[in-house]
Structure 1
Amino acid sequence: MSSASEGRIRRSSVSLLTPPPQCVTLLTDDGVPVEAVYEPCTRRSGSRGAAPADTTAIVVAHGFTGAVDRPAVRRAARVFARHAAVVTFSFRGHGRSGGRSTVGDREVLDLAAAVAWARELGHRRVVTVGFSMGGSVVLRHGALYDAPAHAGARPGTDSAVPGAYADAGAHADAVVSVSAPARWYYRGTAPMRRLHWVVTRPSGRFVGRYGFRTRIATEDWDPVPLPPVAAVPRIAPAPLLLVHGDRDPYFPLDHPRMLAEAAGPDGAELWVERGMGHAENAADDALLDRIAAWATDGTTA
């Protein structure tokens, strides 16, 4: 799977004339059409009716085999909308988006397009919330897309990715990663071994396409994208929240702990959720509500 060029994101290819919720097709920097939905904040007091500039927008990055119309994604959007405006979208190869899934590599461009759209709609503060694969994508996106005020403040890069990219439209002001891996190619659990079969074998990709409605690229990563554990130290000074369940069947607790340690002192807040399984399907409304409250802390949203 080829690593993407982390360049500027093209503007939406669809006119924003649809009344809320707005459904559009965004065009990524590498030309992939991505379906996206915008929903304003539904809170009855405070932010309801406020201008976008005065409210936070939460951009939701779903897990592998998810999509904008999946029940768990819609439920997360409904809960988040009590606190903020919400942008949901389908990663490439998922739902009605074009292209093929690269399982966390070029998906960073899909997220950047969604963040840029939220800012085009008028939101000055944008928070990314990612689950599982989406959790790894928000970490990498947070490391690569920097606010202009902080440009050049992050460590240097390696050969797999360009330097930190200053872009007023594509950066996140805070990052929330839920149920994310710390490192690539992990096969230490049965669910992850099954996932690797789906991604790497022709019969597995057939199951992914027709069983999970997910179209998967056949090429190997070349070069290998920046691993999550290497991305987290580069997210500061943006706030970072890591959330993980103690019953996650995919990634045991050494993954979030490794990420928190890599972030350094005060670099990340870690919530280990008792009894929680994996990603958006396991996140109950109470947890989603707490995540949204964290994401909008200190704002009118």
Structure 2
Amino acid sequence: MSSEAESRFHMVDVSQITSRPVQDMLRTDLRTDDGVRIEAVYEPSTASVTDPAAGTAVVVAHGFTGSADRPALRRAVAAFRDRASVVSFSFRGHGGSGGRSTVGDREVLDLSAAVRWARELGHARVVTVGFSMGGSVVLRHAAVERDAAARADAVAAVSAPARWYYRGTPSMRRVHWVVTRPLGRVVGRVGLGTRIHNRDWDPVPLSPVEAVPLIAPTPLLIVHGDRDPYFPVDHPRMLAAAAERAGAPAELWLERGMGHAENAADDELLGRLGNWLARP
């Protein structure tokens, strides 16, 4: 899957911004630096505030094969809206967005476009939360993004991998089959609604565990279930250890009985996560 140098990820052009007032739900298309159209949704906080744009905006990054309109992501958005305004979007190759998925590589550009849009809408504090593939994206985005308008003020990664090419579980071996085999990509497109790029990464992007030491001093939260069928608990522990070695320890929540990503996050966890994201 094609990648450019990490230093180029800060160049994003947000286009087609609707002029409707921010008190209403907004749906629009964003345009990334590499020209991909990304569908995005803005929903103001349901908390009792005079000006929703004055508070925090949470930008939510879904997992592989997800989208802005999938029920599990909509449930997370609803929980976060009790505490902050929310921007959700579909990564390239997912949902109504254009392009093809690069499974976490150029998706950093998609996230930058969404963060920039939240700031265009008036939010001075913008935070990111990502699930699974989205978790790896928010970590790399926080490490490499240098444009102040597109940077996050806090980062939470839920069920994120620590390293690339992991095949240690049956679930991840199935994911690799979908991503790397022609027939698998057909299954991804037809059965999972996800259009996957057919090229290998070149060069291989910065891995999540390599990205974590570069995130400080931005606050970082790592959330992982102890029954995750994709990535066992050595992944979040590796991420937390990398932060510790960098002198900026991350908060680590190991959730008892939790499975994987947004599908496994219950209402109690989403409430705690929303509180962490919304706190100044």
TM-score of the two chains, using structure 2 as the length reference: 0.96
Aligned residue among 204, 212, 220 for 2:192: 212
CA contact (8 A) 2:189 2:196 kept: yes
> Which amino acid is the alignment partner of residue 25 of structure 2?
P
More displaced 10-residue stretch of structure 1: 7-16 or 181-190: 7-16
Give unmatched runs, 5+ long, in structure 1. Answer: 146-164
Q: Equivalents in 2 of 1:268, 1:7: separation in Å?
A: 24
1:6 corresponds to? 9
Offset, 1:51: 4.8
Matched, 1:226 2:226: no
1:161 corresponds to? none
Alignment of 1:233-248 (within 5 A): 233-248=213-228
Q: Equivalents in 1 of 2:201, 2:186: separation in Å?
A: 20
Q: Equivalents in 2 of 1:192, 1:16: separation in Å?
A: 42
Offset, 1:266: 4.2
Q: Equivalents in 1 of 2:225, 2:10: separation in Å?
A: 34
Q: Equivalents in 1 of 2:58, 2:52: separation in Å?
A: 15
Alignment of 1:242-261 (within 5 A): 242-261=222-241
2:165 corresponds to? 185
Give unmatched runs, 5+ long, in structure 2. Answer: none
CA contact (8 A) 1:250 1:278 kept: yes
Deviations 1:1-57 (A, max 9, x none): 1114313210222433277210000000110000000000001x3xx22251x3000
Q: Equivalents in 2 of 1:73, 1:209: separation in Å?
A: 20
Q: Equivalents in 1 of 2:39, 2:19: separation in Å?
A: 13
Alignment of 1:4-153 (within 5 A): 4=4, 5-17=8-20, 20-43=24-47, 45=48, 48-52=49-53, 54-145=54-145
> Which amino acid is the alignment partner of residue 148 of structure 2?
A
CA contact (8 A) 1:63 1:131 kept: yes
Aligned residue among 282, 288, 293 for 2:275: 293
CA RMSD, 1 decimal:
1.1
1:155 corresponds to? none
> Which amino acid is the alignment partner of residue 15 of structure 1?
T
Q: Equivalents in 1 of 2:270, 2:85: separation in Å?
A: 14
CA contact (8 A) 2:10 2:112 kept: no
